[in-house]
Structure 1
Amino acid sequence: MAKTTPDSSQPATDAFGAMLEAQSRWAELMFAPLAEAVEPDANDAAPALGDLRKWAENATRLQTMWIEFCQKHALDTTGGMMAGDPSQWPAKWFAMFETWTQQLPFADPSEQQRWWAESAQLWQALMLPQGEEKPEAELPREDRRFADPRWREQPVFAMIHQTYLLLTDRVLAMVEKMDTIEPGKREQLKFATQAMAEALSPANFAATNPIVLDRIMESRGESLVKGMQNLLQDVQKGQLTHSDPQAFVVGENIATTPGQVVYETDLFQLIQYEPTTDKVLSIPLVIFPPWINRFYILDLNEKKSFVKWAVDQGLSVFMVSWKSADASMKDVVWDDYIAAQIDAIDHVKKRLRQPAVHAIGYCVAGTTLAATLAILEAKGEADKVKSATFFTAQVDFADAGELLHFIDNQQLAAIKGIERDGVVDGRYMAATFNLLRGNDLIWNYVVRNYLLGEDHTAFDLLHWNGDVTNLPARWHRDYLRDLYRDNLLVKPGKLEALGTPIDLTTVKVPTYVQAGKDDHIAPATSVWKITEHFGGPMRFVLAGSGHIAGVVNPPAAGKYQYWINEDDDVDTLEEFRAGATEHPGSWWPDWIEWIRTQDSKELQVRGKRNPGGTEKDKVIEPAPGRYVKTR
Structure 2
Amino acid sequence: MTQVAPEKSGSRTSPKAENGRAAGTTDATTTEGRERPATSPAAPSSEPTPEAAEAVMGLDMVLVDGARGPLRRFVPPARTTLAFAKGLVAKPDVVGKRARYLVRELGRIGVGRSEVEPNRKDKRFADPAWTGNPLLHRLMQAHIATAQTAAKLVDDADLGWQDDERIRFTLTNVVDALAPSNTPINPLLWKAVIDTGGKSAVRGVRRAVRDLVSPPRVPSMVEPDAFTVGEDLAVTPGAVVFRSEVFELIQYRPTTPQVRAVPLLMVPPTINKFYIADLAPGRSIVEHYVSSGQQVFMISWRNPDERHADWGLSTYGRAVLDALDAVEQATGSRQASLQAFCSGGIITAMTLAHLAAQGRLDRIAAASFAVTVLDWARAGTVGALMDPEAVREATERSRKKGYLDGGSLAEVFAWLRPNDLVWSYWVNNYLQGKPPAAFDILYWNADTTRMSAALHRDFIDLALANALTEPGAATMLGTPVDLSTVDVDTYVTAGIADHLCPWQSCYRTTQLLGGESRFILSTNGHIASLVNPPTNPKSTFQVAPSTPASPDEWLAQAETTKGSWWPDYMAWLGERSGEEIPAPETLGGDLEVLGDAPGTYVFDE
State the TM-score, normalized to the length of structure 1: 0.78
In 2: Cα distance, 1:438 partner to 1:333 partner: 31
The answer on whether the counterparts of 1:334 and 1:497 sit within 8 Å (CA) in structure 2 is yes
1:448 lines up with 2:428 in the alignment: yes
The answer on whether the counterparts of 1:176 and 1:190 sit within 8 Å (CA) in structure 2 is no
In 1: Cα distance, 2:302 partner to 2:435 partner: 32
Instruction: Indicate how the Cα distance of structure 1 residues 255 and 490 shifts in structure 2: closer, same or farther if over 3 A, else same.
Output: same
Aligned to 2:603: 629
1:407 lines up with 2:401 in the alignment: no
DSSP-derived class of the 2:249 partner: strand
DSSP-derived class of the 2:467 partner: coil
Aligned to 2:146: 167
Aligned to 1:90: none
Matching residue's letter, 2:373: Q
In the alignment, which of 534, 538, 545 is matched to residue 559 of structure 1? 538
The answer on whether the counterparts of 2:540 and 2:563 sit within 8 Å (CA) in structure 1 is yes
1:587 lines up with 2:561 in the alignment: no
Query: Aligned ranges for residues 82-481 of structure 1 at < 5 Å?
Result: 105=85, 114-115=97-98, 117-128=100-111, 138-142=115-119, 143-179=122-158, 181-207=159-185, 209-239=186-216, 240=218, 241-416=220-395, 418-419=397-398, 421-480=401-460
* CA RMSD between the two structures: 2.3
- In structure 1, stretches of 5+ residues that fail to align are 1-100, 130-135
Query: Aligned ranges for residues 72-91 of structure 1 at < 5 Å?
Result: none
The answer on whether the counterparts of 2:242 and 2:592 sit within 8 Å (CA) in structure 1 is no
1:529 lines up with 2:505 in the alignment: no
Aligned to 1:487: 466
Cα-to-partner distance string for 1:274-329 (whole Å, 9 max, x where unaligned): 11011110000100000111111111111100101100111111000001111111
The answer on whether the counterparts of 1:150 and 1:211 sit within 8 Å (CA) in structure 2 is no
Instruction: Indicate how the Cα distance of structure 1 residues 368 and 508 shifts in structure 2: closer, same or farther if over 3 A, else same.
Output: same
Matching residue's letter, 1:571: A
In 2: Cα distance, 1:112 partner to 1:137 partner: 22
Matching residue's letter, 2:493: Q
In 1: Cα distance, 2:176 partner to 2:375 partner: 30
In 1: Cα distance, 2:425 partner to 2:393 partner: 26
DSSP-derived class of the 1:508 partner: coil
The answer on whether the counterparts of 2:205 and 2:430 sit within 8 Å (CA) in structure 1 is yes
Higher relative contact order (CA 8 A, sep 6+): 2
- Displacement of 1:264: 0.9
Cα-to-partner distance string for 1:437-481 (whole Å, 9 max, x where unaligned): 11101111111111111123211111111111101122212211x
- Displacement of 1:421: 3.0
The answer on whether the counterparts of 1:341 and 1:372 sit within 8 Å (CA) in structure 2 is yes
DSSP-derived class of the 1:247 partner: coil
Aligned to 1:505: 484
Aligned to 1:86: none
The answer on whether the counterparts of 2:340 and 2:370 sit within 8 Å (CA) in structure 1 is yes
In 2: Cα distance, 1:252 partner to 1:414 partner: 41
- Displacement of 1:116: 5.3
Percent identity (aligned): 35
DSSP-derived class of the 2:289 partner: helix
In 1: Cα distance, 2:104 partner to 2:152 partner: 20
**More off after superposition, 580-589 vs 471-480:** 471-480
The answer on whether the counterparts of 1:399 and 1:525 sit within 8 Å (CA) in structure 2 is no
In 1: Cα distance, 2:566 partner to 2:98 partner: 50
1:604 lines up with 2:582 in the alignment: yes
The answer on whether the counterparts of 2:378 and 2:384 sit within 8 Å (CA) in structure 1 is no
Matching residue's letter, 2:225: Q
- Displacement of 1:123: 4.3
DSSP-derived class of the 1:206 partner: coil
Matching residue's letter, 2:359: G
Matching residue's letter, 1:321: S
Give aligned pairs, total.
Answer: 517
- Displacement of 1:105: 4.1
In 2: Cα distance, 1:126 partner to 1:219 partner: 34
- Displacement of 1:502: 0.4
In 2: Cα distance, 1:558 partner to 1:360 partner: 25
In 2: Cα distance, 1:182 partner to 1:117 partner: 26
DSSP-derived class of the 1:477 partner: helix
- Displacement of 1:157: 1.3
